[in-house]
Amino acid sequence: MQEVGFSYLSELNEKQRQAVEHIHGPVMVIAGPGSGKTRVLTYRIAHLINSGIAPWNILTLTFTNKAAREMKERIEKVVGQRANRMWAGTFHSIFARILRVEAHLIGYPNDFTIYDTDDSKSLIREITKTLGLDPKVYNNGAVRSRISGAKSNLITPKLYAENDDLMSLDRMNRRPMTYKIYEKYAARCKRAGAMDFDDLLLQMFRLLYENPNDVRTKYQMQFQYLLVDEFQDTNFLQFEILKLLTEYEGSQQNICIVGDDAQSIYSFRGATIENILQFENSYMNVATYKLEQNYRSTQSIVEAANSLIKFNKNQIQKKIWTDRLDGDKIKLIKVMTDSEEGRRVADGILEQKNRYHLANKEIAILYRTNGQSRIFEEWLRKYNIAYRIYGGTSFYQRKEVKDCIAYMRLTINPKDDEALKRVINYPRRGIGKTTIEQLIQIADDNNVSIWDCLTTIQFNGRAKQKLGKFVQLIQAMQQHAQAENAYKAALFIVRQSGIIDLLKADNSIEGKGRVENVTSLLDGIQEFVEDDEIVADEAIPVDKSMASFLQTISLMTDQDENKDNIDTVTMMSVHAAKGLEYKSVFVVGLEENLFPSFMALSSPDQIDEERRLFYVAITRAEQYLTLSYANSRYQYGNMRFNDPSRFLEELPESSMDNTVLKKSPSAGFGEPKIIGNFARKPAKAPVLQIDPSTFVATAMNKIKEGDNVLHLKFGKGEVLSIDERFVASIRFEQLNANAEKRIMLQYAKLQVLD
């Protein structure tokens, strides 16, 4: 008979209820995707309170304030206002709250300042300058990332300097003085009474470790029941703090962790999967409950996820299942180019909206890197489908992209004051704020552009030389833009401006992402230049200039959508998608060197994490899952030809609606081999395996009617006719038999076949 006040237990399945009702001792809840993890965590806390545990003796740690807030609201519905007296929040917010009371015990004022990322970078930049080090080599983003990693592993400046591995790696990266910057950074923070985000963890550990008989005991008695959400995302330092709070004489070790090792995807932030894999070795008599019923996804999606994750060696074994037998099988889009991938995905979204009556907000596009969003943004705009970038800004609104475009705008129109103000001292060239303000004032007083001031007014002192160099730089860019096509001009601008060198100096994850965005912009310009197809029968010559490109994207950068319109297709990286769900999900760019990332190919452990990332991606889908890859895409200014991702071959044939996938026994690590519809084409039809380095375009005047030709994008074809404007009509084998492409030979890259 159900006890009065415990009716919420009836909402749980058997495994969920067991995890909720097991109050004492260490508990590990392995929660598969869509298995009701939040409900279990919420009801477990409510059950603790209803069982007589004081709310203030319960500490719940999450990874987002939103999760903590929503959890409290849900608990309040079960136990009432008592929920407000429990401790729930992120690791950083809870520890900051404690340090506000206790910081004086470790030499900090209780009203210490918290430095954000910009504060930290600014201080590192100042220290680097004081030490006389090259700021391009000792990039503040890369150094900050190095310091953060050290703190997350309990490595102080002194220990850092004594660690041969760390010092050796710094020497290899030409930053042997990183330890000295770390030492001074820590001292300056202490002197300023400031902690950065990593310090909130490190100083909390110090507080507990250095004060075992008073402060540590105080909080051990305070927090008698600990619950940790998303435990697979914790780092070494976070787990060490939890151990200090739970490991003491007479402790019942009432710690409950909830997570899923198969969704551990944040190693680049310092998270270690070993925390959850080794949890049973860290505590005695751990009770483990596996939540294996998936309430979110259909059978085909769950079956694919199970098949995929089996290929990872180190994992907690479980088999996710669902009773949702409805829904389509997984669709696969195989295309020649990344641009075609964007179009086909947009087509697929339109089809689902019409056939299944899906709203935009029920659809998501997931990609491995943020730079991939550009193509999908462009096609969704063409189809008038509203979208939003989740966890980031629109591609053309990202700072590094806007910086590059500002240089391009200024090159084409030097009177563009907004573009000029944006780049005149970026990258830094010693043109100070005062000088810029004087220029703006002079321009306003004389009703002319700032560029007019720069080219007509004689300046004195150091400003004359620095402003003169800037003018010369823009004039050199103008000459290239007038003489070259948009891609060659853009490449010159990005290199000569110094932007790409500045971004490459930042080896942090964020820094690498910014470089990817700039290269993606260049790839888009290269595609613009090499798009040699003529629409319909238009006779107007194609303009491949920088001005033409800027005119093209100006329509894409106008933010004229209704900001209040929440019915939008969501686009985001897979990392940002964790914890979310959509009725329909498109996972794009499933190619070797992209997903999995080329940076992971040298390490089996990193390949496993990439596989977990794909596992997270496909389990975001409730009913419809579409996967896509392109045989070729522009990367770093060149057309690259790609193999489909090894992860595709790990999906079961029974889950796919249009593809037979089998694992080849001979496929080894780093050498994926795909059978069935993914089979590589035989030598007699090498259309998809064209090597750009050996492809030799035939001169325009050497191409004639009846020639068999090869095109990098469309493959093998026959020239049907050439008109007086040198526009060729070509029928390509791989396209529809009756379809013809009209191509301007002036811009085409065609190789005549013998």
Residue 637: φ, ψ to 5°: 85, 0
Instruction: Find out whether 620 and 582 touch, Cβ atoms under 8 Å.
Output: yes
List of E strands, 208-269: 225-228, 255-259
Strand order of the sheet with strand 87-90? 87-90, 58-62, 225-228, 255-259, 27-31, 287-291
Beta partners for residue 339, in sequence order: none
What are the residues whose beta carbons fall under 8 Å from the beta carbon of 307, sequence distance 6 or more? 650, 651, 652, 655
Closest CA to 77 of 42, 37, 34: 42
List the catalytic residue out of 17, 37, 151, 488: 37
C-alpha distance from residue 523 to each of 4, 106, 498, 547 (Å):
65, 52, 18, 17
CA dist., res. 58 & res. 424, Å (int): 55
- 482 SS3 class: helix
CA dist., res. 585 & res. 362, Å (int): 9
CA dist., res. 358 & res. 429, Å (int): 52
Let me know if 37 is a catalytic residue: yes
Question: DSSP readout, 80-91?
Answer: GGGGGGSEEEEH
Pairing of strands 741-744, 727-732: antiparallel
Instruction: Find out whether 546 and 411 touch, Cβ atoms under 8 Å.
Output: yes
CA dist., res. 463 & res. 65, Å (int): 48
How many Cα atoms occupy the beta-carbon half-sphere of 221 within 13 Å? 7
List the catalytic residue out of 62, 224, 234, 263: 263
**Element spanning 115, H or E:** strand 113-115
Handedness of CA 649, 650, 651, 652 (dihedral sign): positive
Let me know if 310 is a catalytic residue: no
List the catalytic residue out of 170, 198, 199, 230: 230
Q: What are the structure tokens assigned to 583, written together? A: 């009725």
Q: What are the structure tokens assigned to 481, written together? A: 């833009």
List the catalytic residue out of 196, 229, 292, 649: 229
Q: Give the catalytic positions in this structure.
A: 37-38, 229-230, 263, 620
